[in-house]
């Protein structure tokens, strides 16, 4: 049996998958190798014929691929939940975000607000609309290209406030994480995994997917700013 499993994933889960892959290798002798890029880019690659055994993406993107027959029906399972957090450049004042009022104040005081492509970026734009700040912030919003963390615009001086998945911001230099969004403004993203229709070892891939979603990975998920789905 081939003891290597290949996968495709979004950038948000790249650090977590790298660590869980090593845990699985040590505990089960299975080599697990993921190629990561922006979620939009990964979905495009798959639609253009990219092959792998597993794919890990945001819930909505994965459901679409399953509907198109590119992910095997019945194999999709929820894995991890990630919070969107706010961040600012190191050395600048850190806003308090314990209420919706304080979040509004932080948004209004920012000269440029960075956000990512994918579900977290879409959710942030929707939130800004719900807060009634569309017109005020229209010229201040900066969306990063696929695969580029919003925090990169903080360290480069192109933004003074950024929003993205915690896992994508936590290891960036010169970036200070403020924390999750308060109360009803909180944004959570569910990441799921599925077996690719192109896999030549779907049963083995499904077993590895179960390992990714098992209690074995819970501690690693917490350390990488996520929690287990359903936990």
Place of tokens 């104040």: 105
Q: How far apart are CA 23 and CA 19, in angstroms?
A: 6
Q: What is the mean pLDDT of residues 119-128?
A: 91
User: Can you list the domains of the chain with their CATH numbers?
Assistant: 4-81+190-228 (3.40.190.10), 97-185 (3.40.190)
- The per-residue pLDDT of the chain, averaged, comes to 93
Residue 231 confidence class, pLDDT cut points 50, 70, 90: low
By the 8 A CB rule, do 194 and 61 touch?
Answer: no
Residues 72-82: tens digit of each pLDDT: 999 999 999 99
Whether the predicted pLDDT of 1 surpasses 60 = no
Give tens-digit pLDDT for 154-193: 988 999 999 998 988 888 899 999 999 999 999 998 999 9
CA distance 72 to 120: 25
* Residue 8 or 116, more confident: 8
Q: Is the pLDDT of residue 197 over 70?
A: yes
Question: Which comes out higher in pLDDT, residue 111 or 119?
Answer: 111
- Token pair of 219, please? 């501690």
């Amino acid at each position: 049996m081939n003891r290597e499993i290949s996968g495709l994933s979004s950038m948000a889960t790249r650090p977590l998958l790298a660590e869980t892959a090593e845990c699985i290798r040590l505990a089960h002798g299975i080599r697990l190798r993921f190629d990561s890029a922006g979620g939009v880019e990964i979905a495009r690659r798959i639609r253009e014929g990219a092959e792998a055994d597993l794919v890990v993406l945001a819930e909505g993107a994965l459901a679409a691929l399953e509907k198109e027959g590119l992910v095997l029906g019945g194999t999709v399972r929820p894995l991890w939940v990630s919070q969107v957090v706010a961040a600012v450049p190191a050395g600048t004042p850190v806003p308090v975000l314990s209420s919706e009022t304080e979040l509004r104040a932080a948004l209004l005081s920012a000269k440029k607000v960075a956000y990512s492509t994918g579900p977290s970026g879409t959710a942030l734009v929707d939130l800004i609309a719900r807060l009634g700040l569309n017109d005020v912030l229209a010229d201040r919003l900066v969306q990063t290209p696929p695969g580029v963390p919003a925090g990169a615009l903080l360290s480069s001086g192109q933004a003074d406030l950024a929003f993205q998945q915690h896992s994508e911001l936590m290891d960036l230099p010169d970036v200070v994480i403020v924390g999750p969004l308060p109360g009803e403004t909180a944004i959570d993203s569910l990441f799921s995994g599925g077996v690719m229709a192109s896999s030549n070892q779907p049963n083995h891939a499904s077993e590895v997917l179960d390992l990714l979603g098992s209690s074995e990975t819970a501690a690693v998920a917490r350390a990488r700013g996520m929690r287990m789905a359903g936990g």
